[in-house]
Amino acid sequence: MASIDLNSDLGENTPDRNVSDDESMLELVTSVNVSCGFHAGTPDGIRKTLAGAVERRVVIGAHPSYRDYDGFGRRDLDVEPATLQAEIEYQLGALTALASAVGGRVRYVKPHGALYNRIAADRARADAVAAAVCAVDPRLVLLGLAGSAALDAGAHAGLQVAAEAFADRAYLPDGRLVPRSDPAAVLHDPAAVAERMLRLTEHGVIRAIDGSDVRIDADSICVHGDSPSAVAMAREVRRALTDAGVAITPFTEL
């Protein structure tokens, strides 16, 4: 039986910026990428999301970012590799402590937003992120864009790596994500998104923005928690895959 992981970016709510329904998403996903506080979230809110993941036996991942609260971590900042490594180590340490406090354990790392996109192609920054993960806990899995420099850097550093596909993002023909500055970058139709992900699991391809097929070998599917129809999309993706006989299971151990 085919299987795939379903993940979402959560722990990003603050009193002035409520972006996701963490409780509902935790009922649907098998892995959760939890904010480490640099781009979003508060310590108590992050802790609550971690506790919810532990209660539902959802695998916990760290979701570190650039130090960019005002831009939600989606502005491409030119951070020197040494500084970036220290900032990632700092964030992983904080989330590891909060997860331990609620009886959980961080099992993988998925960088957020602009940092995620930067290390998909920037090998120097990808090496810095991989070095940070190794320094904090070399048992952690590095989750990144399929075919990216990030996964190459992680594997070169000796980390276990896992490849990700996005349910709610449009793709360029070369396998990169369409920049969020493009109005067509983010998808919102649950039925269309579910059909795309079913095609991915059955045939290993996603339709690019120009109509061509992009081959993607993915271990996990992401539905962004801050999308307006996030819960509906995650629910429909899970239903479509399950109905087709695809098992929804974590890509790494709990």
Tokens of 35: 């904010």
pTM of the entire predicted model = 0.97
**Model confidence band, residue 1 (pLDDT cutoffs 50, 70, 90):** low
Q: Is the pLDDT of residue 17 over 90?
A: yes
Domain annotation for the chain: domains and CATH numbers: 3-248 (3.20.20.370)
What single letter denotes the amino acid at residue 113?
G
**C-alpha span between 200 and 219 (Å, rounded):** 11
- DSSP of 76-127, one letter per residue? -----HHHHHHHHHHHHHHHHHHHHHTT--EEEE---HHHHHHHTT-HHHHH
Percent of the chain with pLDDT over 90: 99
Query: 71, 26, 66, 65: which is closest to 49 by C-alpha?
Result: 26
| pLDDT digits 0-9 by tens, 185-235 | 999 999 999 999 999 999 999 999 999 999 999 999 999 999 889 999 999
Residue 8 near residue 33, CB atoms below 8 Å: yes
Residue 245 near residue 1, CB atoms below 8 Å: yes
pLDDT of 101 reads 98
Residue 35 near residue 64, CB atoms below 8 Å: no
What single letter denotes the amino acid at residue 141?
V
| pLDDT digits 0-9 by tens, 57-89 | 999 999 999 999 999 999 999 999 999 999 999
**C-alpha span between 117 and 68 (Å, rounded):** 15
| pLDDT digits 0-9 by tens, 93-122 | 999 999 999 999 999 999 999 999 999 999
Distance (Å) of CA 99 to CA 22, 38, 95, 127, 151:
16, 17, 6, 26, 25
Half-sphere CA count of 61, side-chain side, radius 13 A = 32
Residue 156 near residue 130, CB atoms below 8 Å: yes
Q: Is the pLDDT of residue 20 over 70?
A: yes
Q: Share the mean pLDDT of the chain.
A: 97
| pLDDT digits 0-9 by tens, 117-141 | 999 999 999 999 999 999 999 999 9
